[in-house]
Amino acid sequence: MQEMMKNRAYALLENGTVDRVLGWTRGEFAYDMTPAVFRNADEVKNGFVYNDFCAANLSKYLVKECRAGGKILVFLKPCDTYSFNQLLAEHRIKRDMIYVVGIECFGKADVEKIKEMGIEGITGITAKDGIYTVSTIYGDKAIKPADVMAERCLACKSKKHVVYDELIGNEGEVVEDCNRFDMVAKLEAMTPDERYEFWRGELSRCIRCNACRNICPACTCEQCIFDNPNSGVSQKAAVNSFEENMFHIIRAFHVAGRCTDCGECSRVCPQNIPLHLLNRKFIKDVNTFYGDYQAGEDPTAKPPLGKYEKNDIEPGEAGGAKE
């Protein structure tokens, strides 16, 4: 896969279709690839890396990169293309400055899961014939990719690219029975007290580092309300239970109907807070109350909070105890 991608990058740089390439570059270890922009074939040759640890969704970088002059090539996994479409729908990126190469995805690996298996002192990871060989200073270990697949990939909603200029690998299908709402449903079935305990246990770990917000492809405001000193809610690292609740409710609300469920927020959280469960609650509610809607699927669709029906459900009738 990596070689095919590099070859396409060389060719497209060579024939002048694109001026830059947005991809991933090698890390310090076998699993910490960093998103990077490559400006010529040499840089691609020396630095470009693609493997199962290249998890970052590159679409948000395009907000800045599509305005940096010249056309840019971007490699997008199926889930990333939904984010791309959503950004397009919101006029945050310029389509004609971007060349999208869709890449087939078999699910990404989560190095945390490898470490949780008790594998320590990792010096290298190679993939061959559907097996990862993890080299450590204590010897080699063979593991199955399925055992260390990222949580979000286990509930993958679509292997289909909703937008691309060309495709590397095969096109997949939307996964109809992806079970991604199972945990939301489980929480809904709990009593309010249990739910409260659950969320206190999760959100109380928040350190307000803003990683979830800053990685989020839907969070592209020029100035976030939580960074605006005039908003009255910009309290930086003021951490108490109210601030934690408010930040996460409002952040999830601001992306309600726009969140494509790419799962980046949960991936980057240094405290492993399952933030996707907040977003999925809104997605599930939108589906239940206003009909199935997948943000990013169709860039011309009207967002669910930007339209209404005269016979919409009343707030008092939705979920929980009724009055």
Partner 1 sequence: MKKLSLAKLNDFFAAIAAKQALYLPVNNKVGKADFTKWTAGTEMSKALNTVRSAKDFFFPQTENLMDFKMEGKNIEVIDSREECEDFVVFGVRACDAASFAILDSVYLVDPVDSYYKNRREHGTVVTMACGKPAETCFCGTFGIDAANPAGDVTVWEVADGYMLRANTEKGEALLAATADLLEAGDEKAVEAAQAKTREIMAKLPLAGLTFDGVGVGKTKELFDRPEWKTLSESCLGCGTCTFVCPTCQCYDVRDFDTGNGIKRFRCWDSCMYSDFTLMAHGNSRNSQVERFRQRFMHKLVYYPDRNNGTFGCVGCGRCLARCPISMNIVKVAKTLGGNK
Partner 2 sequence: MQDVKEFRPTIVAFCCNWCSYAGADLAGSSRLVYPADVKIIRVPCSCRVNPLFILRAFQRGADGVIMAGCHPGDCHYTSGNYFARRRMTLLFSMLDYLGIERERTRVEWISAAEGAKFAKTMNEFVATVTALGENKRLEDLRCKK
Q: List interacting residues with partner 1 (CB under 8 A).
A: 27-29, 32-37, 56, 61, 116, 120-123, 137, 201-202, 205, 207-211, 213-215, 223, 227, 229, 232, 234-240, 267-268, 270-272
Orientation of helix 241-254 relative to helix 192-203, angle to 10°: 100
Separation CA 71–CA 99 (nearest Å): 7
Q: How far is the CB of 218 from partner 2 (least distance, A)?
A: 15
Residue 225 contact, options partner 2, partner 1, none, Cβ 5-8 Å cut-off depending on partner type: partner 2
Q: Which is nearer to partner 1, 94 or 236 (CB)?
A: 236
Structural element, H or E, at residue 198? helix 192-203
Choice between 29 and 196, CB closer to partner 2: 196
Alpha-carbon separation of residue 240 from 144, 160, 194, 254 (angstroms): 41, 41, 20, 21
Q: Which of partner 2, partner 1, none does residue 249 bind to, with CB < 5 to 8 Å depending on kind?
A: partner 2
What track of x and - describes contact with partner 2 for positions 200 through 219 (by CB under 8 A)? x-------------------
Q: Three-state SS for 201?
A: helix
Q: Which two tokens stand for residue 322?
A: 């009724």
Of 1, 16, 93, 119, nearest to 54 by C-alpha is 1
Among 137, 232, 292, 300, interactor with partner 2 by CB under 8 A: 232
Q: What are 127's strand-pairing partners?
A: 132
**Using CA atoms, how far apart are residues 19 and 11, in angstroms rounded to an integer?**
11
Burial class (CB in 10 A: 0-12, 13-18, 19+), 248: buried
Q: Residue 201: which residues within 8 A CB-CB, separation 6 or more?
A: none
Residue 215 or 246 with smaller CB distance to partner 1: 215
Sheet holding 131-136, edge to edge: 122-128, 131-136, 139-143
- Could you tell me the smallest distance in angstroms from the CB atom of residue 145 to partner 1? 20
Out of partner 1, partner 2, none, what residue 267 binds, judged by CB under 5 to 8 A for its kind, is partner 1
Comparing CB distances to partner 1, the nearer of 153 and 162 is: 153
Report what 34 binds from partner 1, partner 2, none; CB cut-off 5-8 Å by kind. Answer: partner 1
* Interface contacts to partner 2, rule CB under 8 A: 184, 187-188, 192-200, 225, 232-233, 240, 242-243, 245-246, 249-250, 252-253, 256, 278, 281-282, 285-286, 289-290, 304-306, 308-310, 312-316, 318-321, 323
